[in-house]
Amino acid sequence: MNNIVLIGFMGSGKTTFGRWVSRRHNRKFYDTDEYIEKKQNTTISEIFATKGEEAFRDMETETVKELSDTLDNCVISVGGGLVLREVNRELLRKLGTVVYLKASEEELCKRLSKDTKRPLLQGGGLHEKIHNLMEQREDIYLDAADMIVDTQKMSFEQMYTAIIKNMED
């Protein structure tokens, strides 16, 4: 336990912030996408293309099950769609404090405009895609989270301080 679990939309900075916490505050870092890519020895795009989204979602569930058995004092960044399954949300709650990293659709659109690695966002109409997915997901992110952090208003150090304070309360 005592883990920090980062959830939120693609481009919200989960991996970047998670890595920063890991370096700066000496916690071991896990990223569910990287975990899956290593285990499957291929990329997320390739998994979506060859096996489909449902197979990828199964891999995500398997991953949180594996991680929830072992981790302590770590920071864990999870793929933007991992919280869609209730079973995953329950496992995340058991893992530690779940933090929703929030950013506006406009900001996400800016950050993701050159992305080529996220299969759900390819093929044009980025803003509409983000808007539609966000509409389906925002309530789920809010429901899954123990706390919300606005990534556009705070520095990484301020975000970390707020998270630790919440964990201690």
Q: Find the binder of ligand S3P among 33, 64, 149, 159 (CB under 6 A).
A: 33
What's the min distance (Å) between Cβ of 66 and ligand S3P? Answer: 16
Interface region with ligand S3P, contact rule CB under 6 A, candidates 62-70, 78-86, 102-110, 141-149: 78-86
Q: Is 13 in the site for ligand S3P (CB under 6 A)?
A: no
Q: Is 18 in the site for ligand S3P (CB under 6 A)?
A: no
Q: Amino acid identity of 157?
A: E
Interface region with ligand S3P, contact rule CB under 6 A, candidates 7-15, 93-101, 144-152, 159-167: 7-15
Q: Find the binder of ligand S3P among 4, 6, 44, 109 (CB under 6 A).
A: 44
E-state strands within the chain? 3-7, 29-31, 75-77, 96-102, 147-150
Q: Is 10 in the site for ligand S3P (CB under 6 A)?
A: yes
Q: Which of 134, 111, 122 has the alpha carbon at shortest distance from 48? A: 122
Extract the tokens encoding 18: 């998670």
Query: Residues with Cβ < 8 Å from 135, sequence gap 6 or more?
Result: none
Q: Find the binder of ligand S3P among 85, 111, 118, 129 (CB under 6 A).
A: 118
**15 and 80 Cβ atoms separated by less than 8 Å:** no
Query: Residues with Cβ < 8 Å from 13, sequence gap 6 or more?
Result: 101, 103, 111, 151
Residue 118 among known ligand-binding residues: yes
Extract the tokens encoding 152: 């556009």
Q: Is 79 in the site for ligand S3P (CB under 6 A)?
A: yes
Q: Contact positions toward ligand S3P, by CB under 6 A?
A: 10, 14-15, 33, 44, 79-81, 118-120
